[in-house]
Amino acid sequence: MSRRFKKRRAMAEMNVVPYIDVMLVLLVIFMVTAPMMQSGVNVNMPDADAAMLESDSKQPPLYISIRENGEISLGESDEVISTTELTEQMKGQLGETGTRPVYIRADGNAIHTYVTRAMIAAQKAGAKKISWMTDPESNN
């Protein structure tokens, strides 16, 4: 009686467990670093002891950034624009109703005149809801 042994063929399967581990590690890294990344213009907003406002608008807000030297940027762009360009660009982004909220992020050392000019440009564009952004008052 002779026994016949079946030859076992090596299975050519790829082990995906290490790939899943790597993907989970990357997911955790991105979840931790995403809140730390801020885009847009870097301005030092003034401190204020004010409550945070809740937006009732379903539209995302439109940001106007004003640097200390009076340079104005719209949205998350670093492109410097004039107040007339600000008005024209905002007209297209606000729509006909003008109910999209507008947030002004002005540097704490910016001259009040620069902020006033930006607010007037936003009003000329048809903005109805203009808010001023501040940092919460730091505990000194």
Amino acid 108: pLDDT: 82
Of all residues in the chain, the percent with pLDDT exceeding 90 is 9
Dist CA 65 CA 71 (whole Å): 8
Q: What is the pLDDT of residues 32-59, one digit of tens each?
A: 888 776 666 666 666 666 566 666 667 7
Amino acid 139: pLDDT: 45
Whether residue 63 contacts residue 40, with contact meaning beta carbons closer than 8 Å, is answered with: yes
Tokens standing for residue 92: 């297209």
Place of tokens 């003008």: 98
Amino acid 26: pLDDT: 95
Tokens standing for residue 88: 């024209």
Burial class (CB in 10 A: 0-12, 13-18, 19+), 14: exposed
Give the start-to-end residue ranges of the domains of the chain.
47-136
Domain 47-136 bears CATH identifier 3.30.420.270: yes
Against a cut of 0.95, is the pTM above it? Answer: no
